[in-house]
Structures are given as C-alpha cells and as structure tokens.
Amino acid sequence: MADAQVELHGPAHGEGPPRRHGPVARVAVLSDVHANIPAFDAVLAEPDVARADFVVLCGDLTWGPEPQETYERILGLGERALCLRGNADRYAAGIGTAALTADTPRQAWIAERHSPEAIAFLDRLAFGLVVEIEGLGPVHFCHGSPRSDHELVTPGTPSERFAELSAAIDGRVLVTGHSHLQFDRAVAGLRSVNPGSVGLPYHTGEPGTAYWALLGPDVSLRTSRYDVEDAIARARAAVDPDAERYSDTLVNAPDPEKIVAEAERLIFVN
C-alpha cells in the first residue's frame, strides 16, 4: 500500500486522462536515456526502431551529460516520438523555469544546458499515454507508475501493490520505466513490462549495452551495443559534475537483485 504521507507526482494540473493513439502494428519503447548520446544513437539506428510506427520514450530523457543533444535527437523523430515525463524531467523543467531551486551543482548544471525550447518541451511532457497495439490491445505507458512518476515497479513488486497502482488503467499491459531494470512478467492479472534503460541500465551484461523493447504483436525485450568509452569521454568533455560516478555506473552497473530489494523497501524514489 502507498504511504499516505508520500507526495504523489501524477498528471499535471488540467492535463486530463492519458491521450490515446493507434491502432498501430509496432511500437519501439525506450526509457531512461539519461542523455547518453552514444547509447541513444545506437538504439535509434536499429532497423526495428526506424520502422516502428511510434517511438515511445518513457521519461528521464535529458538528465545526464548531453541534455540539449538528446532533445535535438528527439525532435528529429518528428511525430513518431511520443514522450512522457519522468521524475528527472520534472526536476529539470522545475529548475529551468525557476519553479524549483537546485539542491546540488549538478542539478543546476543540467538545467543550464537546456535551451529555453528544451525546458519548455520538458515542462509540457505528458504523464501517461495509451497506444492500441496489434496483438496486445490498449497498452498503458508511464515512467514510474500510473499514480506517480517516482513510484518504482520492479520484477519483485508484490501483486497487492501492483493491483493497487494499476487499478485505473485501461488495458492488460502496463509499461513503466524508472527502475532501470528490463523485465516482462505476469502479475495481478496484468502484464508488467519495463524496457530497461537505454543510457544507464542496471544489469549483469557487458558494459556498453543499451536496453529497450519492441511491442507488437507480442513483447520483445531487446538490447543494442554501443561504445561505452565514447560515452565516458563525452561526459568528461562536457565537464559534467557527476562524470566520474556516471562513468563508474556505466562500467560497473548495480546488481539487479540488490536494486529490486532496495526499490521494494523504498517504493518511491526521486
């Protein structure tokens, strides 16, 4: 059960219910890019991504070493890109519009590296959306959960909490991000899917692996290889205040089992 004292970060005031799209045959799902341009470029170059009817981006897009470049890549996708707000996007937009005050040098640094247009883009991102996909029906997409962009859904989320957080969705498939863990599981009578993180995954695979998913007519969990040393070099060249910690995460990713245990203990993490 959600703690009544936790502040939920759901749809923006006046946003209304999730917009609906489709029906379409194929949707590529990318989440938690975290401004890792080499990883993002590698996934965008995949033939199945290039051919997809839509590219759904499940939040935490520009919070990383190259925010503006990430925004420009998204613009290049045109109307195929359906973008959602992650908790990091909420922070970047809040700091960039002076609605929030940066708590750390990196928070200020990231916000400053967005153009006014990029900040405005983040500020109007949708909280959730629904796409009718061949073979899957209506699929609900969000960053954290359908009730807050900072609620963690993992492979270990108990059926009781999952049933509670998904109670209002239309469809049998819920796609979330935020946990940086790739999975596809049946729980509480629904299908819980996370494409994993493109730019900062938690995994046991080789460094330089980006995670994503292709939906329609079923769920296909995918990976793409990219030059991790290039990503590290770009973070350092950008003078990202968090470049060393970021780089260490790219080459020494956290253990998924530990992440699941910590996430299920905390439940809500910004």
Q: Tens digit of pLDDT for each residue in 201-236?
A: 999 999 999 999 999 999 999 999 999 999 999 999
The answer to whether the beta carbons of residues 77 and 54 sit under 8 Å apart is no
Q: Per mean pLDDT, which range of 3-7, 103-107, 204-208 is the poorest?
A: 3-7
Mean pLDDT of 124-148: 98
Average model confidence (pLDDT) for the chain? Answer: 97
pLDDT at 4: 60
Structural domain contains residue 109: yes
Integer-rounded Cα Rg, in Å, for the chain is 17
Q: Tell me, what CATH number does 75's domain have?
A: 3.60.21.10
* Domain residue limits at 162: 19-266
The C-alpha torsion from 103 through 243 and 196 to 88, rounded to 10°, is 20
Q: Tell me the sheet residues that pair with 209.
A: 225
Structural domain contains residue 3: no
pLDDT bracket for residue 191 (50, 70, 90): very high
Distance CA 124, CA 14 (A): 11
By C-alpha distance, which of 221, 200, 218 is closest to 209? Answer: 200
Distance CA 115, CA 196 (A): 28
Structural domain contains residue 92: yes
Q: Is the pLDDT of residue 1 over 60?
A: no
Cβ neighbourhood burial of 180 (10 Å; 0-12, 13-18, 19+): buried
Structural domain contains residue 238: yes
pLDDT at 5: 84
Q: How far is CA 93 from the centre of its chain?
A: 16
pLDDT bracket for residue 18 (50, 70, 90): very high
Distance CA 112, CA 270 (A): 20
C-beta neighbour count of 2 within 10 angstroms? 15
pLDDT at 97: 97
Q: How many domains is the chain partitioned into structurally?
A: 1
Distance CA 256, CA 5 (A): 28
pLDDT bracket for residue 2 (50, 70, 90): low
Q: Is the pLDDT of residue 96 over 70?
A: yes
Q: Is the pLDDT of residue 197 over 70?
A: yes
Q: Is the pLDDT of residue 142 over 90?
A: yes
Q: 38-93: per-residue pLDDT in tens?
A: 999 999 999 999 999 999 999 999 999 999 999 999 999 999 999 999 999 999 99
Residue 154 corresponds to which tokens in the numbers above?
């993992």
Structural domain contains residue 14: no
Q: Is the pLDDT of residue 3 over 90?
A: no
Structural domain contains residue 45: yes
Structural domain contains residue 7: no
User: What's the pTM value of the predicted model, to 2 decimals?
Assistant: 0.97
Residue 198 corresponds to which tokens in the numbers above?
């493109």
Structural domain contains residue 105: yes
Segment holding 85, helix H or strand E: none
What's the start-to-end Cα distance of the chain, in Å?
18
Which 3 state secondary structure label does DSSP give 53? coil
The answer to whether the beta carbons of residues 267 and 151 sit under 8 Å apart is yes
